[in-house]
């Protein structure tokens, strides 16, 4: 239910996303992780986690997760500081 120009634009946009797509190969069961994190959010339970920055440096932190966000390739746990 769109014009040919609109359909072409959508097709081009999706094709660009397909070209840029790289599957994540961590082989973890994300369903179990998402369920666990959702439980921590619901029960307002503080969690310990390791944060790795872009340079590969690691920090062990504690925080209260308040949400879960998916963007591009990754899920992000929202923990305000």
User: In 10 A of CB 61, how many CB atoms?
Assistant: 12
- What's the pLDDT band for 16 if we cut at 50, 70, 90? confident
Asked whether residue 44 carries a pLDDT value surpassing 90, the answer given is yes
The confidence score (pLDDT) of residue 61 equals 92
34 burial level (CB within 10 Å; 0-12, 13-18, 19+): middle
* Position 72 pLDDT exceeds 80: no
pLDDT number for residue 24: 74
Q: Is the pLDDT of residue 52 over 80?
A: yes
The count of domains in the chain is 1
User: Average of pLDDT values for 16-21?
Assistant: 73
Global pTM reads 0.62
Domain holding 13, by residue range, is: 4-78
């Amino acid at each position: 239910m769109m014009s040919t120009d609109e359909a072409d634009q959508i097709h081009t946009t999706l094709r660009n996303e397909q070209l840029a797509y790289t599957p994540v190969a961590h082989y973890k069961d994300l369903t179990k992780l998402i369920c666990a994190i959702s439980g921590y959010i619901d029960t307002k339970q503080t969690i310990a986690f390791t944060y790795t920055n872009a340079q590969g440096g690691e920090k062990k932190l504690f925080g209260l997760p308040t949400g879960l966000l998916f963007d591009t390739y990754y899920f992000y746990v929202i923990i305000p500081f």
